[in-house]
Structure 1
């Protein structure tokens, strides 16, 4: 005779999770992939699909762009006395799993204990029913996660484990239920996405708009106050719309370009002025060739020696960190490179100037001293070489120790000059005494 018994002894071990209430009454209003699957829906990553979340996947809906959830491989392992002893299954919200566990028992009403622990909330159902026949009992377990099972920070792989133990049997039955509580696409974020018109981030086919924009593709500005004057030109500069670095938007504010050289420094609150315009307002700083902070500028501006290797630096968006600029002071044309760091401090390096002092300081190291020292070294080396050659090729010394030179008599050193005439010792004036 078969005996059937319903057991309600269930122990719960749940991690501390805040209470969750999720409204899944209107799937059309769910615009987030994570919330969609947490309500048991299916998500479409196509930004042009009107119905992004649905419970039923009908034909021709979101072809090729449906979000695929992570599923674990099913596992079934039998034990010595219980079959199965270990199971692995993946359940999505709204799905249930029903399975039988068989084991020998002398009692027609064995004591069955079930313990459940979870990485999320306690919003799941686990029930069991035991029937025995001819010394063999079978416990049927049914489990399913509810719509509030996933917490707000649930990940792509969450779990709850069901452990069953039978009195008199040492083996325990463990079933591991894997529940996806987040979409894999939610971890992939494309910032400044073209789909969002460069005004928001794209994830799972949904645009999260930057401040001041709204719409499915961040196409609609949120205007606070419209100005009545000419709002997108700076009369103190050149009256060009948005400094030539942007266009005047619907809210009468400049929308700066994002794909031009130096666009990372375009100031949307200052008519899209670029970094060159800002530095040129402090052109007095170029008159001082000494590196350091310029004291006459109204913002933090620093001069440093030119380092060519810095010109190749790029940011995370593959944009050059250093921007090439130019200007002139009193008909003196100069070129320089500039950048602004995360502390809003601006730096510049002069690369070309009509001032010879500026030219000498353009390099990372002063060129004057090395050149002078090099010339002096060359002159000294040449003089040393010439001196050595003259010394090496000098005439041999007179061999004074030779006997031929020691036996020369004094007479050999004197002689009588045949042209010599002795001097006149006296002279008589013929006119003397005639006066």
Structure 2
């Protein structure tokens, strides 16, 4: 069954990649379920499918299973459904050679007022292959090579769409003067070039334009009537016509800042016949403005609520947009949709003030670019040429595939390393780029009609594409009515189901491999079968979740690993769900075996995972012969030390206790009274209580010398530190070694310290007083000297002193005449 994959066809290498099986092949009940699982195949043999010993064989197995050759032989070559991915080349025309365009005409003219002709050209091939057919299984990917090479002298159509509001008047003059130069520069890139011109203002309704009658005739001085969009010059090879049309185009005016550019873009794209866009040409739409744009929803301001229909509405007589006042502006997504559909490359040539806005807009429209105009558009030729170079130096593959089909792209571009990308940049005319396209069907759609799809892979901005006729392999031929392996109401199915591909597909209310369960089986109120006999308890899963209930009995699932088994009346037992030790089931075959989810340990081992030796040899302290030194329990032949109020024991045999209090405190009073005659015990108490407590000796330095000894250190009432070490001899009797010298702090001269402190305080006080006296004396002397200096410098005169008054007063009688 299935067709053979063609490896190499007409130079195209097709790589077959088998995906890892993400689901089990076993326990699949039908051929369609089986082949929808990667790497699985089905036996559709009629009747019982058993081996020589009569053992039932699984109908769905992996291609890589052990014994699959014998399985194939038993099933029969014509009964095996091992559907394979299939690839067939339909159209694979060679790429157009660089510099060769069949039928391309020669250019003439090019100066101001000149013209050129391109002639007719046959279809240019820039992508191969052009059409393929393939059949794919779920999650079994196919890789194929797609080659792209940009041809020289590829036809180019450039339509210049300009905002002709009053503020763009100087830009229009520049464009009319540069029209011939624009045509000449584009001719250097391609001889097959055509140029067109259109203009726009805004919708002729309030509040976009003034509807006062005189303003409708002349919205500004020297302005023409406002309009929405006008196709002034369809695409033509005559440069002089372009210059004349731009020069004679009148400017107009409106009220608000944004313009109706989206209306114009929509009409310029969808009016294919009126603009005269060529099918086999790269289409450039240059949009020039110094203002923002209205978009869908803004029409409500003018009482226009009908959405834009995305259709052409140009007056055949005057080439004006007739529905400007009848329907709303288009949305950004509508512009993007029609630009993709008609393979349009938009170039937004805008002033610096609007550059940031249109840069973001260009990101939202496929195949768009943005450049910055000078104040009067004098750089328009350089801008168009630069943006065209950006567009043509980049190839980006896209597709229209939808779920559940996924497509990934890989390419080396111009490097030696392949990476996952659908974009190659920095290309020149004639550069060839190979893309490895990996196509995967993630799952089969529920709707059978979606099993066949036509997918397009295309370079952005070009009309050429690769068409893929994809058929998903989601079922087997023996599951289709009319096939020899399809029998409705078959006797093999107790006349209660359809016999297909060797198994029964039972009707509703019937179960069993032969649809034998149903008539005598208890059916619940909701229409399901009574499965209570397949549950171990009322809360248990049916067949413990490891099998299926057939006619009231559990049929346990089989495992991919033949060594793993599920058994029991309710499929409750397994030989693979026991505890593990070091990642090994029941510690390994030498330790125990898994029996019904529980480890059965072999002699010499114990524990829930048979991980413990059944012995206490490693727990016996060789020094004392006691198990864990009587300070812990022996578990798994290892000591687990205990903990009490004194501390926690440690060590291999729990012989150590770093945190325990030990004998330091009990031995302290006796060491003090016996060797240093200090402490809380009197001489009589010392003799009575300490004489036989331990065997003690004096040593120069007390230090731990053997394992198990402990150093004790204390301070007495004189702040002298004494040290001793205690341990045990071979008879477990305490032995104490006392350091013979006390470590006492040096004696301090308290009186000298007190007197010194008092003297220091007095000296500091006297020094401060003396400093204060000296400073005040110096200050007083300076003040007195300054006073004396000022007094000596004073030279008072009675005539000059403003506060001096003479002792006598003089009066004059105005009536006295001297007589």
Q: Report the TM-score, using the length of structure 1 for normalisation.
A: 0.39
Choose between structure 1 and 2: higher strand proportion. 1
Choose between structure 1 and 2: higher helix proportion. 2
Q: Report the TM-score, using the length of structure 2 for normalisation.
A: 0.22
Asked which structure has the greater CA Rg, the reply is 2
Bigger relative contact order, structure 1 or 2 (CA pairs below 8 A, ≥6 apart): 1
